[in-house]
Structure 1
Amino acid sequence: MSMSVLKEKSKQKTPASFPVRRMDYEFQDMPKYWCNNEPTFTHYFTGLSTLFPEGESYFVRSVRALRSQVKDNQQLDRDIGAFIGQEAMHSKEHHAFHRSAQQYGLDPESLEKTTGIILKAIERTFPKKWNLLVTVGLEHYTAVLVVEMMKDVNELMTDETIRNLWLWHSVEETEHKAVAYDMYEYLYGKGLAAYIPRVAVFTFSLAMITAMSTAYQVVLLKRDQQLLNLKSWRKFAQHGREKYKVFIPKFLDYYRFNFHPNDSDESEIVAKTKVKIGLSQVENHLPA
């Protein structure tokens, strides 16, 4: 894997709060069941991954559509630029992973295309404010999931390259988790008129992503002729029950009137994760 960190030019008065890292993972030798050696686990995360290329392109379009209105906030504008850069890299690398998964005849790229069709329909239907709110809500959803990924879920991934893909993605999700939210708050404020659409669109977004990720897991299991593998389903259900005990309170936290993504601090687990995948070593040796 080759990697470089794109740093803000010194001539810029206000650098972004986080870097854009250029990654280039190679997935050619990945095993068929790379998560817990189980089809249910592997296909769940592959299904979730197929949401990212089109989903994060949608996020980028949603913030770009309103970016001109925040140009007078230099810090926020710089962070939006870095957010766009990180999301573009996530789309690229998850798409590369899906192309490599084609070798097993599961065709995850077809699920990418389905995601694109759904999100483009939403984009055409929703006003710019609501499209931004879908991004805000799903950024919170992702920020909740990646904490558990960094804590212990990554240990289920037997392929080092795929594990590193998810951990790198997790680190960056925590870095930019507040950008879209801050953009929304800057444009629309903190009052009741901003709160009601925020929680309403989050409820819609949470239902949508849960339905899509579940459907994609089922589709992949069916294509793999593992849909009736009850032993694997039992293991996955037990794991899911334990994790949703953690997820649900954190999802509900979004409904607090004074919620902000930075209310939670993931700096310690992020630092450990950077060490684990070698990001700290690289970034500590970058020129100032």
Structure 2
Amino acid sequence: MSTSVLQQTSNVKPTASFSVRRMDYEFKQLPKYWCLHDPSMTHYFTGLSTLFPEGEAYFVRSVRALRGRVKDNSALDREIGAFIGQEAMHSKEHHAFHQSAQQHGLDPQSLEKLTGTILTALEKVMPKKWNLLMTVGLEHYTAVLGAEMMKKGHELIVDDTIRNLWLWHSIEETEHKAVAFDMYQYLYGQGLDAYLPRIFIFTFCLAFISTLSNSYQLILMSRDKQLLNLRSWAKFASFSVQIGRKLVPQLLPYYRFGFHPNDVDESEILAQTKAKIGLAT
């Protein structure tokens, strides 16, 4: 190998194992009911979406609060940097979606702000370790949800731009699903004293996100004057049973003592989804 090639090789800066992509979706002329042309289905996923801008910002603050303690692990620090970049972009794009959805008069941005108020209050009363654990637990939840969105869930979305938003988000949740978990293990180990708070906070996370997402759905249904739409609620009830049967078995392994997010290999569906929305390269 020539000297010039050796110099070029030595100047290559190590990077994270996944990319930070700058997206800029244009949400124009959004259909009012973009999920199965149905109000309760659409409002459930919109309610879930309103958790993301402030939720992702909370994740970023949680890892940044402890990042200084992992600087001696350069590989993990690079992963954390890319994680922060991806999460910031998720916040930006979901916020843009909510701004555009204002055209239907349901004000999803108000729910986004409420989420921020709740998370800020939690952040102030919980120690840094617990805030990181909230991130770890909710990252597992979003990774499981994202995998299902890539497999079948995207077929429910009738608008191409919103479908691509959810698929891109799902791709990146899968790519960085282990970063916060690895950070937690690096800082606090893998013993019983690390395991017990991990499963306690995860149980709280499940109750927290279920309560908020379902409450937001009810609020949006009320604003849309669809609370008494029994046919729509019946459709959502059927969906809830079906999706519960798929998601619960994937969520429960988190309670296993030796669990790690990378125990499940999603490389095939990840590659297929990247190709589907033009991110294969």
TM-score (norm 2): 0.95
What is the rounded CA distance, in whole Å, between the counterparts of 1:13 and 1:34 in structure 2?
43
Aligned equivalent of 1:127: 127
The one-letter amino acid of 1:34's match is W
Unaligned runs of 5+ in 1: 1-9, 284-288
Distance change in 2, residues 1:208/1:11 (3 Å): farther
Aligned equivalent of 1:271: 271
Q: Is the CA contact (8 Å cut-off) linking 1:63 and 1:80 kept in structure 2?
A: yes
What is the rounded CA distance, in whole Å, between the counterparts of 2:161 and 2:32 in structure 1?
13
Secondary structure of 2:21's match?
strand
Aligned equivalent of 2:63: 63
User: How do 1:241-260 residues align onto structure 2 when only pairs under 5 Å count?
Assistant: 241-260=241-260
Secondary structure of 2:190's match?
coil
What is the rounded CA distance, in whole Å, between the counterparts of 1:14 and 1:194 in structure 2?
30
User: How do 1:15-164 residues align onto structure 2 when only pairs under 5 Å count?
Assistant: 15-164=15-164
The one-letter amino acid of 1:69's match is R
Query: What are the Cα deviations for residues 28-80 of structure 1, in whole angstroms up to 9, with x where unaligned?
Result: 11100000000011001100000000000000000000000000111100000
Q: Which structure has the bigger radius of gyration?
A: 2
Query: What are the Cα deviations for residues 79-105 of structure 1, in whole angstroms up to 9, with x where unaligned?
Result: 000000000000000000000000000
Query: What are the Cα deviations for residues 228-261 of structure 1, in whole angstroms up to 9, with x where unaligned?
Result: 1110111111111011111112211100000000
Aligned equivalent of 2:221: 221
1:14 to partner: Cα distance: 2.5
What is the rounded CA distance, in whole Å, between the counterparts of 1:267 and 1:229 in structure 2?
40
1:11 to partner: Cα distance: 4.3
Aligned equivalent of 2:234: 234
What is the rounded CA distance, in whole Å, between the counterparts of 2:76 and 2:255 in structure 1?
24
Q: Is the CA contact (8 Å cut-off) linking 1:40 and 1:221 kept in structure 2?
A: yes
1:12 to partner: Cα distance: 5.5
Runs of 4+ with deviation above 2 angstroms: 10-14
Q: Is the CA contact (8 Å cut-off) linking 1:14 and 1:74 kept in structure 2?
A: no
The one-letter amino acid of 2:38's match is E
Secondary structure of 1:21's match?
coil
What is the rounded CA distance, in whole Å, between the counterparts of 1:12 and 1:106 in structure 2?
50
What is the rounded CA distance, in whole Å, between the counterparts of 2:278 and 2:28 in structure 1?
21
What is the rounded CA distance, in whole Å, between the counterparts of 1:267 and 1:238 in structure 2?
30
What is the rounded CA distance, in whole Å, between the counterparts of 2:73 and 2:13 in structure 1?
12
Greater shift, 11-20 or 73-82, is seen at 11-20
The one-letter amino acid of 2:258's match is N
1:147 to partner: Cα distance: 1.0
Is 2:174 aligned against 1:174? yes
What is the rounded CA distance, in whole Å, between the counterparts of 1:11 and 1:163 in structure 2?
40
What is the rounded CA distance, in whole Å, between the counterparts of 2:53 and 2:172 in structure 1?
15
Q: Is the CA contact (8 Å cut-off) linking 1:123 and 1:131 kept in structure 2?
A: yes
TM-score (norm 1): 0.93
Unaligned runs of 5+ in 2: 1-9
